[in-house]
Structure 1
Amino acid sequence: MIGGRLNRYMMTQTLTGLGLAALTISTVIILVDFVEQSRAIGTRVDASTLDLLSLTLLKTPALLETTLPFIFLFGILTSLFRLNRRSELIVMRASGMSAWRILTAPMLLAICAGIAGAVALNPLAAMGSAEFQNRRDQLMNVQRATGVEEPIWLRETSEDGFTVIAATALQENRQELMDPTFYIFTLDENGVPNLDRRIDAAQARLSDGFWQIIDAVERSPNAPTRTLQEETLPTQINRQALFERSRSPEGVSFWDLPQLISSAREAGLATERYELRWHSLLALPLTLLAATLIAAAATLRLHRLGGAAAFALAGGLAGFVMFFLQELLGSMGTTGALPPLTAAWAAPALTALIALTYIASTEDG
């Protein structure tokens, strides 16, 4: 009965601290982003305050997703520091409650919030970011050809070699490459690539399992040039891998990432950025748990022993160190220097283990 009441009380106190932190951080980022939108857009076009505010609100879910670890860090710091200052932690410990029992509610809340952030907040942030881009283009009268991208390069592997595809533009609505050139390479017994043939075309339309090439010219070493009115080339690239390939990983929903990674990998396209994003979202519960443990380690020291404020400040700095380490490892994962799994999970796992070790040594000696 006492344990149940304690968990409910700790849950209430934790939610209060998180609410204060979320309100403070969200207010700050909304104000900062509103000022940024006013500077970037309001000075160029005649946009009303309501238009600028709507743009800011569309970006808010993505900004909250980014700052979620800091919301938990400062929210837990606030709630536990208040309990410590009012000597409520002393009463809990004196009644026989261990630190692990006291931290049960905050840790469960961190894990649940991490799951909700990945499966619910992230898709909302992806939709908001896409709508933000559309609204901003409308306000600034940016004329974009629907579904057309800048010049692109693709590389597709096959059983006996690989194909490099260059095109001047990508017409998404019609699933076409404009002015594509196909460089088809084969590998010899030593694995050395040799150019087998080159196909220059006016258009290439992606269909199920093949490219439909129109008005093409084929050139091969030691062979005469051939003119092709219409030709087909087999491919493993599907529509999703082709047209979502150029999107920022942050603009792809949590639920769409696995299929995008799978289709891109089958087509031989680079997937490191999307794999890193996928693992970062999967590691979000651990990241929030690590932030919670950092806050707990910094505030469990009894207030009467002195130095509580300094410990709380050290906890805040430790959270920023974890964030910096995450960004550093993420950059290394994007370039391929680290596997995406390691780049996404290492920082929160290491931070959580260090915080757990400190709490255990303080609790059990």
Structure 2
Amino acid sequence: MQLDFFPSRTLTLYLAKLFVVRIFAVLIMLVLVLLALDLLAETGEILAAPGNGQAEILQYASLRVPQLLSRFLPYSVLLATLITLVTLNQNSEVVAMKAAGLSAHQVLSPLLLTAAVVSLVSFGFNERIVTRANATIKAWQAADYGPIPAATGGAGTPRSNIYLTDGDNILTAATLTGSGNATVLTGVTWYARAPGGIIREQVRASRATFAAPGWRLEKPVKFDVAGAITERPAALVVGQSLSPERIMLQSVDADAQSFWELSHSIDAYEAAGRNTDEMRAKWWHRLSGPLSALLMPLLGSIAAFGLARSGQLFVRAIIGMALGFAYFVVDNAALAMGSFGGYPPLLAAWAPFFLFLLLGETVLIRTEE
């Protein structure tokens, strides 16, 4: 038995079933509570848009649920690990398994296998559903929960919160649709600035199209800061050096692109001589992030071993929870450091995973094996 990584088939299925049920129970509880709190904060803004009602609130909830599922799945695995192992310990089932000749790693192996499957499912869910939900909800929020501009030119979901520089001048847009010469910007603001960053004039327009070169603002409203004069010219072309290709490069949202789309965006940035540290860190984190679920049984395993009657079971559970939450803190800090170049992207994405993998193994071996 000691040479087998997994215990018997019956015991493996029993532990895996316990673990899966608790993962889903905790995840559903977290998502429902957090969704209710989020709806309390956002419902007013959703209903403030003309024509919005219950259908739009339900639409918002359907877009937020995938985001919440993706974000809190690793936390659910951690809490489910602690609940499962504490219950097994209290019922002396861990003692029975140890007495049957199982090692600590064999006791944990069904949980680790289940967590590995959860990681694979999480990766696929993020790529197929969460990225699309991110893109849609950002475009909807950029339109103040009003109608989202229809995508043209086969470009798919509109991009949101566009910020571009043309020398000293700045062009912003709420959404971008289409591609190439068919690119359309909506909710456009043009800031003409003097050297030193002082704004000379501000121009607002509901829509802008590519004028080859520049961008033609439709029904613009121009405000001269020095003279405090508002004008309404028939048409105005701005941003002569801003090509559609440059705009597409500057409007990339890593959270709204799939793993392979992000790879192509990184290649395009490198070909243009742009910095790719932030995008590469998020690209690597697309792999290391879902694998965080695999760490949770190992970090929470301290709650499984040690006699329940010793009075230290609660302390062990707290230590396991602290280890798990410490991983999330370190992971987020490392990703932030990698995004602005403090760490190499590969190190920022993978160092926390391997650090806590070694830490979990060390704690498990020193305390039990």
Q: What's the TM-score once normalised by structure 2's chain length? A: 0.72
Q: CA deviation at 1:62?
A: 1.6
Q: Which residue of 1 aligns with 2:341?
A: 336
Q: 1:92 aligns with which of 87, 92, 97?
A: 97
Instruction: Read off the aligned partner of 1:152 and give its amino acid letter.
Output: L
Q: 2:164 aligns with which of 139, 149, 152?
A: 152
Q: Which residue of 1 aligns with 2:272?
A: 267
Q: CA deviation at 1:8?
A: 1.0
1:88-117 Cα offsets, whole Å, 9 max, x none, are 111111111111111111112222221221
Q: Which residue of 2 aligns with 1:279?
A: 284
Q: Which residue of 2 aligns with 1:223?
A: none
Are 1:296 and 2:305 matched, yes or no?
no
User: For residues 265 and 238 of structure 1, what CA distance do their matches in structure 2 show?
Assistant: 18
Q: Which residue of 2 aligns with 1:203?
A: 212
RMSD: 3.3
- Are the counterparts in 2 of residues 276 and 343 from structure 1 also a CA contact under 8 Å? yes
Distance 1:172 1:355, change over 3 A: same
- Are the counterparts in 2 of residues 123 and 254 from structure 1 also a CA contact under 8 Å? no
Q: Which residue of 2 aligns with 1:11?
A: 16
3-state SS in 2 of match to 1:80: helix
Q: CA deviation at 1:54?
A: 2.0
After the TM superposition, which of the residue ranges 56-65 and 128-137 deviates more from structure 2?
128-137
After the TM superposition, which of the residue ranges 134-143 and 37-46 deviates more from structure 2?
134-143
Are 1:257 and 2:266 matched, yes or no?
no
Q: How does 1:41-120 map to 2 (within 5 A)?
A: 41-42=46-47, 47-120=52-125
Q: CA deviation at 1:167?
A: 7.6
Q: Which residue of 2 aligns with 1:352?
A: 357
User: For residues 174 and 124 of structure 1, what CA distance do their matches in structure 2 show?
Assistant: 23
Q: Which residue of 2 aligns with 1:321?
A: 326
User: For residues 304 and 119 of structure 1, what CA distance do their matches in structure 2 show?
Assistant: 42
Instruction: Read off the aligned partner of 1:37 and give its amino acid letter.
Output: E
Distance 1:266 1:104, change over 3 A: same
Q: CA deviation at 1:51?
A: 2.0
Instruction: Read off the aligned partner of 1:173 and give its amino acid letter.
Output: G
3-state SS in 1 of match to 2:119: helix
Q: Give aligned pairs, total.
A: 303
Structure 1 unpaired stretches of 5+: 155-163, 180-200, 206-232
- Are the counterparts in 1 of residues 284 and 345 from structure 2 also a CA contact under 8 Å? yes
Q: CA deviation at 1:344?
A: 1.0
- Are the counterparts in 1 of residues 179 and 244 from structure 2 also a CA contact under 8 Å? no
Q: CA deviation at 1:33?
A: 1.7
Structure 2 unpaired stretches of 5+: 2-6, 152-157, 191-209, 215-240
Q: CA deviation at 1:15?
A: 0.8
Distance 1:322 1:40, change over 3 A: farther
1:110-165 Cα offsets, whole Å, 9 max, x none, are 222212212333330111122324455667437869779755249xxxxxxxxx99
Q: CA deviation at 1:281?
A: 1.5
Distance 1:294 1:59, change over 3 A: same
Distance 1:126 1:13, change over 3 A: same
3-state SS in 1 of match to 2:260: coil
Distance 1:353 1:43, change over 3 A: same
User: For residues 142 and 161 of structure 2, what CA distance do their matches in structure 1 show?
Assistant: 15
User: For residues 238 and 49 of structure 1, what CA distance do their matches in structure 2 show?
Assistant: 37
Q: Which residue of 1 aligns with 2:195?
A: none
Q: Which residue of 2 aligns with 1:173?
A: 178
Q: How does 1:177-256 map to 2 (within 5 A)?
A: 203-204=212-213, 243=248, 245-256=250-261
User: For residues 275 and 17 of structure 2, what CA distance do their matches in structure 1 show?
Assistant: 46
Runs of 4+ off more than 4 Å = 43-46, 134-139, 142-151, 164-172, 176-179
User: For residues 314 and 281 of structure 2, what CA distance do their matches in structure 1 show?
Assistant: 36
Q: CA deviation at 1:174?
A: 5.3
Distance 1:238 1:138, change over 3 A: closer
Instruction: Read off the aligned partner of 1:334 and give its amino acid letter.
Output: S
Instruction: Read off the aligned partner of 2:123 and give its amino acid letter.
Output: A
Q: CA deviation at 1:263?
A: 2.2
Q: CA deviation at 1:356?
A: 0.7
Q: What's the TM-score once normalised by structure 1's chain length? A: 0.73
Are 1:306 and 2:311 matched, yes or no?
yes
